[in-house]
Amino acid sequence: MRGAWAHATLATLACLAVAGCDGAAARRYAVTVVEPEKLDCKAKARVGEPTQGKQIADQIEGAWKEALNAIGGTQKPVGRILQLTETDDDVTGWFDAPISSSVDSFGTSEQVMLGDPHDDYVEVTFRQAHDANDEEAAAALGIEPCGELEDFVFTLSVTVDGPEIEGRVRRIVRQYIPLGISPCDEVVTCPRSLALTGVEIEE
């Protein structure tokens, strides 16, 4: 999966390096992004109630609250440039710099979001996953294998009204905790939704 995204990213950048990119239309937006003021992480276990996962979820939420208090208790808006390039087949999008203002960063030019073309809205996604490679162990234990484990996914969803866009960037991060049975005995899921508004930059 990682290889597929890397290939798509390199193909996109190679196309952009060629003048015209047959059929491609590029737009740039000056956007303002605002982080949520609260995280709500959830822990889940394959069997029974989560133990370590619950502790980790609480720790992540606590770290977020501490980071927020350190900057005055309110998330500060972040200004960025959003690049969208559309062909007949797909839309790619990326930010010029990380869009996070606090605990960790994401949404860089190396993380190219992909999606389908639409007339009045844009929805593009970047996803990263890895294979647990636990088929043999799971078969020996008589349990379902973990299979592909999604590490994180973020999706830009905005409506387009003339030169203006408005919507959200939603990011979901997952942490898998092995407790001696499988690589995904427990999982901690932390979603967050960032508000985004912007206006097209006229060249």
Burial of 171 (0-12, 13-18, 19+ CB in 10 A): buried
Neighbours of 28 (CB within 10 A): 16
In a domain, residue 109? The reply is: yes
Percent of the chain whose pLDDT exceeds 70: 87
The tokens for 87 are 């062909």
- pLDDT, one tens digit per residue, over 148-166 is 999 999 999 999 999 999 9
Averaged pLDDT for residues 35-45: 91
Q: What proportion of the chain, given as a percentage, has pLDDT over 90?
A: 69
Inside any domain, residue 58: yes
User: Is pLDDT above 60 for 18?
Assistant: no
- Residue 42 covered by a domain: yes
82 is in which domain, residue-wise?
2-14+26-200
| Residue 19 counted as domain residue | no
Is residue 126, in this structure, part of any structural domain at all? yes
pLDDT at 177 over 90: yes
77-122 per-position pLDDT tens digit: 889 999 999 999 999 999 999 987 655 678 888 899 999 999 899 9
- Answer whether residue 108 is part of any domain: yes
Number of structural domains the chain divides into: 1
| 190: in domain | yes
- Residue 187's DSSP bridge partners are 44, 176
- Residue at 21 is within a domain: no
